[in-house]
Amino acid sequence: MELKYILEAILFSAQKPLNPKELRELLAAAAEHGDQAKPFKKTKEDVIVAALEELQKDHEAAQRSYRLACVAGSWQFASQPDFAPWIVALVGTKARPPRLSQPALETLAIIAYRQPLTRAEIEQIRGVAVDGVMQTLLERGLVEQTGRAEVIGRPMTYGTTPVFLEYFGLRSLEELPAADELRRIPVTRPEQLLTADPGLATTAPEQLALADVESLENKPAPDSPPPA
Amino acid sequence: MAEYKVQFEVFEGPLDLLLYLIKKEEVDIYEVNLTQLATKFIEYVEVMRMLDLEIAGEFLVMASTLMYIKSRELLPKEQQVENPEEDEGEDPRWELIRQLVEYKKFKDAATQLQAREWEQENTYPRLPIRPEEPAPAAPLRGEASLFDLINAVTEVLKRVGKRDDLREIFEDKWSVSEKIEFLIKLTTDKAAVKFSELFSGATSRPEVICTFLALLELIRLKQLVCVQSADFEEIEIARAPAPSAPLLQADAPPETNLS
């Protein structure tokens, strides 16, 4: 029997999302019950994750009305959003807090990509005060204080919480769209700026082009060591 | 100016307004004419003032930055101050554009988050009903204890015993296995049977005893349950919920909580 199908069966019957550690323990526990389950007794977590990812791709390829979702590191089966009208008729509307406002989403995006950062840094990017919005985000548990910045006044720094991942159905912060691009990338000033025509700023420097993500992906990440 | 009043949108901040103006011009952020942009921006701020809207300080700061950029560039090119100190520092134009590009990216990221928010709102996880929930006769008060049963059967025996006073002793006509079949049939036909009903047809003490022993046996085998909905209420007998019996094979043990 293949590991991915065993995991599928477990997740199909599970009462809550399960993480790889819980699945590993479960495989070990099942081995106590019978010989059939013995070969999977000592399955490693990375093997489990790989099998889950494969299973996820299988379901994707089969274009089923449900998918294997991984939220904040835990796996479970969930229906596709397109089928919501029928599920709502069956189980009723989900109990969920009201949707976030545009300013709240913008602020949250900044925190998600640039965490940890201070309130002043958020305000610098957004160009407006964020006190009210931050209050909302903190109250809803989407962001939290993560520490203090080592600058004058030691202001509080903020970051996102697991609730944030759950709310947006994200596996991890790495799954944020264009994560690499929006993280701290040193923005170099183009040479020709000073010679630009009056009123015309400059042509677009390569690394700031809005749609041009591919060119970035080919470059080494800023924090990776240079090739030897 | 009248058309502005109609078209006016409320902007979150000066960057929001600038992006809106750039979008209206249908030009790339990098190719925008900053002096024109400055004029438009200040027009908007003027309208805001006319409409008595509260103008956030940020708008005024931005307006002054734009005015500064505009003033620098109004000079002929050869007369523009080449400030050597500024070389490594901030060119206000570049600074503004950098800020706009950065803000635009996060605005786009926010839109993607919004899409995910919607998606997640409409995603329903598969959460089957816990297997324990439909288990032993949940709506009823509680299982009757052995003492409750003995107490009840004593009452029955007293009744039957009186009737039996004048009879002769005769051989046992009843067996426990026969009574087991009787009880199963009785509880299959009806959802719940009152304790006294079990013995309504009994004519002698041995028959009552046989029925009672059959009942105990079936309880032990978890085929039947005895429930007493309230204190001093009559005990009722019902079939035990099917899944609790060892009928299930070992291939589907629902592992419930691992945490």
Distance from CA of B198 to the nearest CA of A (A): 41
How much of chain A, in percent, has pLDDT values that exceed 90?
A: 42
Q: Is B244 on the interface with A (CB under 8 A)?
A: no
Give Cα separations from A220 to A60, A215, A217 (angstroms).
30, 10, 7
Which of B120, B130, B259 to mutate: most A Cβ within 10 Å? Answer: B120
Residue A199 domain-assigned (yes or no): no
CB contact under 8 A, B91 and A194: yes
Choose among B114, B25, B227, B7: nearest CA to A103: B114
Residue of A nearest to B115 (CA): A168
Q: How far apart are CA B109 and CA A104, in angstroms?
A: 12
Residue A35 domain-assigned (yes or no): yes
Q: Is pLDDT at A174 greater than 80 in this prediction?
A: yes
Q: Is pLDDT at A195 greater than 90 in this prediction?
A: no
CB contact under 8 A, A77 and B94: no
Tokens of A38: 């013995």
Q: Is B55 on the interface with A (CB under 8 A)?
A: no
Q: Is A134 on the interface with B (CB under 8 A)?
A: no
Tell me, yes or no, whether A86 and A8 share the same domain: yes
Residues of B with CB below 8 A from A125's CB? 99, 102-103, 106
pLDDT digits (tens, 9 = 90+) for A45-69: 999 999 999 999 999 999 999 999 9
All residue ranges of chain B with pLDDT < 70 are 1-10, 52-55, 77-90, 128-142, 161-172, 231-232, 241-259
Structural domain boundaries, residue A120: 102-182
CB contact under 8 A, B116 and A80: no
CB contact under 8 A, B121 and A96: yes
Structural domain boundaries, residue B62: 2-75+92-108
Tell me, yes or no, whether B16 and B68 share the same domain: yes
Tokens of B193: 């049977």
Question: Looking at beta carbons, which pairs linking A158-161 to residues 24 or more positions away fall under 8 Å?
Answer: A158/A111, A158/A115, A158/A116, A158/A117, A158/A118, A158/A119, A158/A122, A158/A134, A159/A111, A159/A115, A159/A116, A160/A108, A160/A111, A160/A112, A160/A115
Q: If you search the block for the tokens 């004029």, which residue do you land on?
A: B39
pLDDT at residue number A180:
64
Tell me, yes or no, whether A81 and A114 share the same domain: no
Residue B124 domain-assigned (yes or no): no
Q: Is A204 on the interface with B (CB under 8 A)?
A: yes
Tell me, yes or no, whether A123 and A51 share the same domain: no
Residue A19 domain-assigned (yes or no): yes
Q: Which of residues 100-139 of B touch A (CB under 8 A)?
A: 101-114, 116-128, 130
CB contact under 8 A, A26 and B255: yes
Identity of residue A223: D
Q: Is B79 on the interface with A (CB under 8 A)?
A: no
Confidence of residue A199 (pLDDT cuts 50, 70, 90): very low
pLDDT at residue number A105:
93
Residue B130 domain-assigned (yes or no): no
How much of chain A, in percent, has pLDDT values that exceed 70?
A: 78
Residue B253 domain-assigned (yes or no): no
Q: Is pLDDT at A192 greater than 60 in this prediction?
A: no
* Average pLDDT value over all residues in chain A: 80
Residue A166 domain-assigned (yes or no): yes
Q: Is B144 on the interface with A (CB under 8 A)?
A: no
pLDDT at residue number A22:
93
CB contact under 8 A, A81 and B101: no
Residue A97 domain-assigned (yes or no): no
pLDDT digits (tens, 9 = 90+) for A3-12: 999 999 999 9
Residues of A with CB below 8 A from B106's CB? 106, 109-110, 113, 125-126, 182
Residue A217 domain-assigned (yes or no): no
Whether the model pTM is above 0.80: no
Residues of A with CB below 8 A from B87's CB? 194
Q: Is B71 on the interface with A (CB under 8 A)?
A: no
* Average pLDDT value over all residues in chain B: 73
Q: How many domains does chain A have?
A: 2
Tell me, yes or no, whether B98 and B189 share the same domain: no
Helices (H), chain B: 2-7, 14-25, 34-50, 57-74, 92-121, 146-164, 176-189, 195-198, 205-220
CATH number where A24 lies = 1.10.10.10
CB contact under 8 A, A76 and B104: no
How many CB pairs (< 8 A) connect A and B? 177
Distance from CA of A89 to the nearest CA of B (A): 12
Tell me, yes or no, whether A82 and A63 share the same domain: yes
CB contact under 8 A, A12 and B126: yes
